[in-house]
């Protein structure tokens, strides 16, 4: 069984590439982020025509998450318990479509699009850290209730947890950039403390998952590792391979993120 996560940066704009990739890779479950569409204009037929069930959570042209599965799609859940809302300046807060879950052949898969943060002193950073803290508390409670639960927290985390996860840590620190700050990294480590682990890194040391469109970041190799599929202990024990499909970042109409794939035994 293969589970993947991919920030597609507009599903309708990348529909052909997503369809081709699914057919080529034979993935069983795909957690998708940044669909950038509402439920009513989501390309349902893309998945249905390829024998995938799909659930989507989108309310406008921003954010949006989905899960496509050909091995079952049960107990679909939009948002996690207590998921923080956001409104600029604290006004008219809404619960953004950034998290959804479904059970796929016994695995509870979460598609997560963690808030960006934007700047170290931006109100989005406070929102990001609160969002992660509440998610962590939920994730810890799931394992407390069932230590044998098979859970994948898959998505765009917008955090580079180690210095080697960016092309030049000095550049990031000197420019006071997000994604590498200690509060963000501490929020990521909290999931590891809660019992989740990254099964992809041992197979992909030194690899990135994201390259900005600007300043020739991709051909210059100036990327970041910010997409993860953190797994519970029971699920981590089943992982026998994992990879980052860097080739999918190439060519016309590519997303700025590459798919991340985890292969399970059994």
Rounded (to 5) percent helix, strand, coil in the chain: 30, 25, 45
In CATH, the number for domain 2-264 is: 3.60.10.10
> Binding-site residues for Mg(2+), please?
7, 34, 156, 158, 256-257
The reported pTM is: 0.97
CA dihedral 234, 239, 243, 248 (to 10 degrees): -70
| Model confidence pLDDT, tens digit, residues 26-40 | 999 999 999 999 999
Express each pLDDT in 144-183 by its tens digit: 999 999 999 999 999 999 999 999 999 999 999 999 999 9
CB 64 within 8 A of CB 48: no
Q: Report yes or no: 36 and 65 within 8 Å, Cβ to Cβ.
A: no
Choose among 88, 175, 170: nearest CA to 126: 88
Query: Residues marked as binding?
Result: 7, 34, 156, 158, 256-257
Catalytic residues: 113, 156, 257
Domains of the chain, by residue range, sit at: 2-264
């Amino acid at each position: 069984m293969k589970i993947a996560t991919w920030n597609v940066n507009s599903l309708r704009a990348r529909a052909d590439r997503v369809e081709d990739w699914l057919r080529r890779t034979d993935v069983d479950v795909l957690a998708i982020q940044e669909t950038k569409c509402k439920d009513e204009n989501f390309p349902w037929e893309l998945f249905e025509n390829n024998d995938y069930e799909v659930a989507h959570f989108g309310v406008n042209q921003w954010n949006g998450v989905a899960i496509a599965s050909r091995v079952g799609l049960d107990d679909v859940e939009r948002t996690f318990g207590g998921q923080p809302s956001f409104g600029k300046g604290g006004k008219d807060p809404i619960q953004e479509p950034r998290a959804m879950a479904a059970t796929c052949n016994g695995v509870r898969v979460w598609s997560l699009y963690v808030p960006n943060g934007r700047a170290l002193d931006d109100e989005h950073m406070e929102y990001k850290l609160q969002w992660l803290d509440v998610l962590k508390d939920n994730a810890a409670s799931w394992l407390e209730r069932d230590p044998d639960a098979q859970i994948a927290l898959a998505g765009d985390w917008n955090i580079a947890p180690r210095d080697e996860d960016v092309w030049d840590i000095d550049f990031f620190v000197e420019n006071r950039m997000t994604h590498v700050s200690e509060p963000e990294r501490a929020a990521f480590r909290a999931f590891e403390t809660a019992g989740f682990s990254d099964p992809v890194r041992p197979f992909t040391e030194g690899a990135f998952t994201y390259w900005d469109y600007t300043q020739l970041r991709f051909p210059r190799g100036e990327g970041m590792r910010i997409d993860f599929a953190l797994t519970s202990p029971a699920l981590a024990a089943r992982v026998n391979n994992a990879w980052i499909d860097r080739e999918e970042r190439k060519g016309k109409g590519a997303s700025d993120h590459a798919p991340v794939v985890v292969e399970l035994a059994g």
